[in-house]
């Protein structure tokens, strides 16, 4: 593949002030996509550009340098909300003379699509049979994806995972020149600070985690896709004595009920704690012994890099776009497809009971110091300025 690559921040002269519209379904402070949007929007605003945000929901305080428009959309079905939101956005954009419109979800008619999600049609064909393709949900989202990636579209695509390019080209014949692969955009604040040891001790004391206990962390909303069921099964499979010293903390926003029932059914309800979304995820990473991320599907997996640079060893599936960083950093282990629950169970047991964790931790911290993992928001801002200049 010969898509464009952006290795770091380019030395681009700052353009004149632009009027930019940002579109996303919902802003919640704990989501990875939402954090990416927020950091990019802030960089653009600080460069003097005028920023309008169109969304169906905004949680938290609205910053003064963003003009946020919450569009009223009501429907019980996700694809209906998406369809209605797209129509409202199209109506709002009429006559506004934006230099560029960037979308963080699949929305027809945008100039740039920040593709944080994997190829929809490829994912559906992997997970569902032909009957699913007759549903209204499939028809809507596949049609929108075709609007963005089809050969007749002019939408530019910003990708976090290069491995998705071949899927889009296979299904949509998307011209390669419309793709740009971005570097990771991890916040430098996720790195282990000088007082990491004290933060770890305080965290474990606060949550009653003893020195000989093992704390396994899982971070991310969308529990099913992230593989929470697999993680709970692996905790239940630990030997009895070891299991009683092991706790799985789940940080994220989703429906907990089916997974609480599962943990109870497997006899580990007391070993699984649901912590909801958290502002201070770093303290969890510094306090834990291992990050588990046995995802079914994951375009990138920003949390993998956040854990690595915090010094937290990682156990993840190879479907995660950023799983290669675990191997490159020598900061944990990657499960090879096809997934086998027995292999996850064995790897979890071994990783929690080996002294190699200390070396994995050191390797990850060093990787975070030596690699360029932090400049994605600036790169996107540069790209938007360039592209707007080209169009003018």
My answer on whether 295 and 366 are in the same domain is yes
Q: Which residue has the higher pLDDT, 53 or 161?
A: 53
pLDDT per position as a tens digit, 307-364: 999 999 999 999 998 999 999 999 999 999 999 999 999 999 999 999 999 999 999 9
pLDDT per position as a tens digit, 137-151: 999 999 999 999 999
My answer on whether 195 and 92 are in the same domain is no
Distance of alpha carbon 115 from alpha carbon 355, whole angstroms? 39
First to last CA, the chain: 29
Question: What is the average pLDDT across 3-18?
Answer: 58
State yes or no: pLDDT of 372 exceeds 90: no
pLDDT per position as a tens digit, 87-104: 999 999 998 999 999 999
Question: What is the average pLDDT across 128-132?
Answer: 93
My answer on whether 130 and 269 are in the same domain is no
Distance of alpha carbon 117 from alpha carbon 195, whole angstroms? 35
List the structure tokens of 215: 């704390």
State yes or no: pLDDT of 277 exceeds 90: no
My answer on whether 73 and 11 are in the same domain is yes
| Per-residue model confidence (pLDDT) at position 162 | 86
| Per-residue model confidence (pLDDT) at position 379 | 96
My answer on whether 118 and 90 are in the same domain is yes
Tell me how long the chain is. Answer: 392
Spatial contact of 185 and 36, defined as CB atoms under 8 Å apart = yes
Question: What are the residue ranges of helices labelled H in the chain?
Answer: 32-46, 78-93, 120-127, 136-149, 165-172, 196-206, 223-226, 228-236, 240-243, 257-265, 281-287, 302-310, 323-329, 341-352, 356-370, 376-391
Burial 157-194 (b: 16+ CB within 10 A, else e): bbbbbeebbebbbebbebeeebbbbbbbbbeeebbbee
CATH of the domain at 101: 3.40.50.2000
Name the band, by pLDDT with cuts 50, 70 and 90, for residue 11: very low
State yes or no: pLDDT of 13 exceeds 80: no
Peptide bond before 338: cis, by omega within 30 degrees of 0? yes
Residues 6+ apart with CB under 8 A from 366: 329
State yes or no: pLDDT of 279 exceeds 90: no
My answer on whether 212 and 310 are in the same domain is yes
| Per-residue model confidence (pLDDT) at position 6 | 57
Distance of alpha carbon 287 from alpha carbon 278, whole angstroms? 14
Name the band, by pLDDT with cuts 50, 70 and 90, for residue 75: confident
My answer on whether 355 and 381 are in the same domain is no
My answer on whether 257 and 350 are in the same domain is yes
Q: What Cα–Cα distance (Å) separates residue 124 from each residue in 34, 127, 142?
A: 24, 5, 10
My answer on whether 366 and 387 are in the same domain is no
My answer on whether 197 and 342 are in the same domain is yes
My answer on whether 121 and 211 are in the same domain is no
Question: What is the average pLDDT across 286-295?
Answer: 98
The per-residue pLDDT of the chain, averaged, comes to 93
Domain span at residue 19 reads: 4-183+375-391
Domains held by the chain: number: 2
Name the band, by pLDDT with cuts 50, 70 and 90, for residue 44: very high
My answer on whether 139 and 45 are in the same domain is yes
Distance of alpha carbon 280 from alpha carbon 226, whole angstroms? 20
């Amino acid at each position: 593949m010969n898509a464009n690559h952006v290795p770091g921040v380019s030395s681009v002269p700052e353009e004149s002030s632009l009027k930019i519209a940002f579109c996303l379904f919902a802003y919640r402070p704990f989501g990875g996509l939402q954090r990416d949007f927020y950091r990019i929007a802030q960089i653009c605003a600080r460069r003097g550009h005028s920023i309008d945000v169109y969304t169906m929901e905004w949680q938290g305080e609205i910053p003064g340098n963003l003009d946020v428009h919450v569009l009223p959309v009501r429907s019980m079905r996700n694809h209906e909300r998406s369809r209605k939101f797209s129509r409202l956005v199209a109506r709002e954009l009429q006559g506004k003379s934006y230099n560029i419109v960037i979308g963080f979800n699949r929305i027809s008619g945008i100039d740039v699509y920040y593709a944080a999600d994997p190829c929809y049609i490829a994912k559906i064909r992997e997970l569902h049979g032909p009957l699913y393709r007759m549903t209204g949900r499939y028809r809507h989202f596949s049609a929108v994806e075709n609007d963005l990636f089809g050969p007749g579209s002019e939408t530019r695509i910003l990708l976090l995972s290069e491995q998705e390019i071949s899927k889009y080209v296979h299904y949509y014949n998307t011209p390669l020149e419309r793709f740009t692969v971005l570097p990771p955009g991890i916040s430098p604040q996720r790195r282990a600070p000088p007082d990491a040891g004290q933060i770890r001790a305080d965290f474990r004391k606060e949550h009653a985690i003893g020195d000989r206990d093992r704390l396994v962390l899982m971070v991310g909303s969308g529990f099913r896709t992230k593989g929470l069921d697999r993680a709970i099964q692996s905790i239940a499979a630990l030997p009895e004595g070891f299991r009683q010293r092991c706790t799985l903390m789940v940080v994220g926003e989703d429906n907990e009920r089916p997974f609480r029932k599962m943990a109870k059914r497997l006899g580990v309800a007391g070993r699984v704690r649901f912590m909801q979304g958290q502002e201070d995820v770093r303290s969890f990473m510094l306090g834990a012994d291992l990050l588990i991320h046995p995802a079914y599907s994951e375009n990138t997996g920003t949390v993998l890099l956040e854990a690595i640079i915090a010094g937290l060893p990682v156990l993840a599936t190879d479907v995660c776009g950023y799983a290669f960083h675990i191997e490159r950093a020598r900061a944990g282990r990657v499960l090879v497809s096809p997934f086998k629950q027995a292999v996850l169970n064995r790897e979890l047991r071994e990783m929690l009971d080996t002294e190699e964790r200390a070396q994995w931790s050191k390797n990850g911290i060093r990787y975070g110091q030596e690699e360029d993992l932090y400049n994605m928001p600036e790169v996107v801002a540069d790209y938007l300025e360039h592209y707007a200049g080209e169009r003018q």
